[in-house]
Amino acid sequence: MKNRVYLVTGATSGIGRALALRAAQAGDTVFAGVRELSRAPSSENIRPIQLDVTNPEDVRRASETILQQCGNIDVLVNNAGFGVYGAFEELSEEQIRAQMETNYFGCLAMARAVLPSMRERRSGTIINVSSILGRITIPTGSAYTASKYAIEAFTESLRQEVKPFGIQVFAVEPGLIRTSFKQNMVKSHAVQKNDSPYAFLNRMIQKEYSGFSTSQERAADRIYKLSQKKRPARRYRVGLDASFYYTLSRILPDSLLDNLVALGVRREFKKTS
Ligand SMILES: NC(=O)c1ccc[n+]([C@@H]2O[C@H](COP(=O)([O-])OP(=O)(O)OC[C@H]3O[C@@H](n4cnc5c(N)ncnc54)[C@H](OP(=O)(O)O)[C@@H]3O)[C@@H](O)[C@H]2O)c1
């Protein structure tokens, strides 16, 4: 396959950084979208570009710059994102709106910026980095999972609209990937308060989960390979845990899934009461 032009958002760390490096190593031209240019990955073929996906001016300037420099964008990877976690009642309106601004509206803004040129060329790929939490939910994840469920719906609908123009749109659904995600997580204001009625849930957020995790390089390699598919499917899981939980959610009835989650929650709840 000939070398292509990638735009990866959120390329300072984690999956985005590893993906930018992976594509650059393969000889593709990679525009690494970052909020702070000094934190961009550095390698031959990587061109750092100022890009906060919630800033309309950045979004416009970034897409125009790439089109001026290269004439086209072959692959947009909507990766920028973070997690807001906490019991819904203890999350602020601002936190929830900020979550949607980046994870969901940021993804829409980027798609809007690249679609006209992709449509004219009758080619292009948009990859939306969702999550396994875009298919299944967890307590404390109401804000994050809603943003990822929204991405899933957006992906499905947009995919159908632009397929006639030769544009491919699909979602990737990572499980637990070893990145700075947890460090960068925004937690509810009450997460440290022992007297919170939701202390049992807050304890769950603080725990380290590392069980079946995947390295960021491995996740990036998988996403890179998926980006080369001529006819990609709607969505792909990334990581064994993602496939495992997704399969469980498909084969078990809702009532049983509810009970399984409730068991864990009840155990934590009993410790407080
Ligand atoms: N790690 C996981 O287990 C996991 C699982 C499922 C899905 N995901 C998804 O994978 C994606 C990447 O996350 P990660 O795990 O690699 O976490 P990460 O290491 O924290 O990386 C997140 C990246 O997004 C950037 N970002 C955040 N807000 C942004 C904004 N408004 N504009 C532009 N960039 C922004 C961050 O930039 P700064 O450095 O400037 O903050 C950083 O480069 C996210 O969409 C996340 O939801 C992660």
pLDDT digits (tens, 9 = 90+) for 5-55: 999 999 999 999 999 999 999 999 999 999 999 999 999 999 999 999 999
What are the pLDDT digits (tens) for 129-185?
999 999 999 999 999 999 999 999 999 999 999 999 999 999 999 999 999 999 999
* Dihedrals phi, psi of 238, to nearest 5 degrees: -125, 115
| Residue carrying structure tokens 């460090």 | 183
Specify the pLDDT at position 268: 84
Q: Which atom of ligand 1 is nearest to the CA of 78?
A: 45
Tell me, what's the pLDDT at 210? 67
Please tell me the predicted confidence (pLDDT) of residue 84.
Answer: 98
Best mutation site among 13, 101, 245 for ligand 1 pocket (most ligand atoms within 8 Å of CB): 13
Q: Which two tokens stand for residue 258?
A: 């509810």
| Model pLDDT, residue 155 | 98
User: Using CA atoms, how far apart are residues 160 and 234, in angstroms rounded to an integer?
Assistant: 10
Ligand 1 atom showing the smallest separation from residue 144 Cα: 47
Give the model confidence (pLDDT) of 66-123 as tens digits. 999 999 999 999 999 999 999 999 999 999 999 999 999 999 999 999 999 999 999 9
Question: Residue 48: CB within 6 Å of ligand 1?
Answer: no
How far, in Å, CA of 52 to CA of 221, rounded? 24
Higher model confidence: residue 171 or residue 264? 171
Task: Return the number of other C-beta atoms located less than 10 Å from residue 209's C-beta.
Answer: 10
Residue 9 to residues 5, 55, 71, 256, 260, Cα–Cα distance (Å):
13, 13, 19, 38, 36
Tens-place pLDDT, residues 185-204: 999 999 888 899 999 998 88
Q: Quick check: is 144 catalytic?
A: yes
d(CA 273, CA 268): 9
**Secondary structure (H, E, C), 202-271:** HHHHHCCCCCCCEEHHHHHHHHHHHHCCCCCCCEEEECHHHHHHHHHHHHCCHHHHHHHHHHHHHHHHHH
Domains of the chain and any CATH numbers: 5-272 (3.40.50.720)
Q: Has residue 273 got a pLDDT over 80?
A: no
**127-158 in b/e burial notation, b at 16+ Cβ within 10 A?**
bbbbbbbbbbbbbbbbbbbbbbbbbbebbeeb
CA angle, residues 215, 53, 172, in degrees to nearest 5: 40
Cβ of residue 134 lying under 6 Å from some atom of ligand 1: no
What percent of the chain is predicted at pLDDT more than 70? 99
Nearest residue to 79 via CA among 143, 141, 31: 31
Which string of DSSP letters, residue by residue, matches 142-183?
HHHHHHHHHHHHHHHHHHHHHGGGTEEEEEEEE-SEESSHHH
Question: Is residue 200 within a helix (H) or strand (E), and if so which, with residue range?
Answer: helix 199-206
Does the Cβ of 15 fall within 6 Å of ligand 1? Answer: yes
Q: Mean pLDDT throughout 244-264?
A: 94
